[in-house]
Amino acid sequence: MNIQKQQGYSLIELMFTLLLGLMISGAIIQVLVSNQITERLNRAMASTQESGRFIMTRLRSEMLTAGRYDSLNPNLAVGPDVVLEAAFIQNHPIILPGDFANAATLGSLQGASGGNDTLVVSMQARQDCRGYKLGYAANQEFPVVNEYFVVGTSLKCRGFDARVLQGQRVAVGNNGDAAFTLVDDVQSFQVIYGIGNRNVSNDNSGRPVQYVTADQLPAQIAAGGQVVAARIALLLKGEGDVYLDPVSTFKLLNEAEITPPDHRLYKQFETTISFRNAKNFIRSNTL
């Protein structure tokens, strides 16, 4: 009778198999973790890009009409004096503190020590930046003043009827209150203004000869300048738990460099908007 001995795995073979299994498991876990990190980063980048494009497109579309006033427009709601109203808006596409006696503090501001700026513009429109008619009929246009400012990390807007601010009309509806949030996760909101001055350029082109901050505008306007453009810069923080190392540094317009306080994803957006109506107003005047 022939008896064969059964042979199993040796201890070395078992240890090698376990080691190989651990290496394969570690590689799979590393791939899964890497994919998760990549997915978070892609989601943060996509959300930030979407928010940035949205707010820049919206601000551009609204700023393009700054300084617009068409007294011959049949949809313009009858006002106390369209000639004076036209002159005011055409000369004040950017509102500064003191422009309205009934709202002396309302106006574009330069943030202190790198803080967020405030942007206030005026134009003839069918609604304010929130979509409110402020008591006017559906097809009527009226002089609008829109204010853009940051509260916490939210960029907000609210609208006013310029006739109410000038004491020519009683406020109707949501005049000047109930600010709407346009975009969240705003780390910095900065604005500088392009000044056209025929005394400097020696022409009626309306091209900006320099860019200044809001606190410098009164002196520029007193010297014969007019705001014809604006540069807007935003720094937005991405969504999700993303850790980036090293931390990036950003330079927004005239401000000092900004280093975010954490390792999250941040993205900078910037645009230059030409005030066509203000330029046309300058071009319509002779030297």
**Is 50 exceeded by the pLDDT of residue 124?**
yes
Query: Of the ranges 63-72, 140-149, 187-196, 212-221, which one carries the lowest mean pLDDT score?
Result: 63-72
Give mean pLDDT, residues 49-57.
91
Give CA–CA dist 18/24, Å, rounded.
Answer: 10
Return the pLDDT at 264: 83
Look at residue 1 and tell me whether its pLDDT is greater than 60: no
Phi, psi of 122 (to 5 degrees): -130, 150
Please give the full DSSP string across 119-131, using - where no structure is assigned. Answer: EEEEEEESS-TTS
Coil vs helix vs strand at 263: coil
pLDDT tens digits along 247-278: 889 999 999 999 988 888 899 999 999 988 87
Neighbours of 222 (CB within 10 A): 8
Q: Which amino acid is at 192?
A: I
The radius of gyration computed from the CA coordinates of the chain, to the nearest angstrom, equals 29
Tell me what pLDDT residue 287 has: 45
* pLDDT at 34 exceeding the cut of 80: no
- Mean pLDDT of the 200-205 span: 70
Q: For residue 138, what pLDDT band results from cuts at 50, 70 and 90? A: very high
Distance CA 285, CA 287 (A): 7
What pairing do the DSSP bridges indicate for beta strands 226-237 and 186-196?
antiparallel
Higher pLDDT among residues 133 and 12, named by residue: 133
The total of other beta-carbon atoms located within 10 Å of residue 1's CB is 2
Q: What is the pLDDT of residue 9?
A: 62
Q: Across all residues in the chain, what is the average pLDDT?
A: 86
Which carries the bigger pLDDT value, residue 241 or residue 41? 241
Q: Cβ atoms within 10 A of the Cβ of 277, count?
A: 20
pLDDT band at 60 (very low <50, low <70, confident <90, very high): very high
Per-residue exposure over 93-132, b if at least 16 CB sit within 10 Å of its own CB, e if not? bbbbbebbeebeebbbbbbeeeebbbbbbbbbbebbbbeb
236: left (phi over 0), alpha (psi -120 to 50) or beta: beta
How many alpha carbons lie under 13 Å from residue 15 in its C-beta half-sphere? 3
DSSP summary character for residue 222 = H
Helix axes 276-283, 82-91, angle to 10 degrees: 110
Alpha-carbon 33 to chain mean position:
35
The answer to whether 118 and 159 have CB atoms below 8 angstroms apart is no
Task: Provide the token pair at 221.
Answer: 């306007």
Contact 186, 151 (CB under 8 A): no
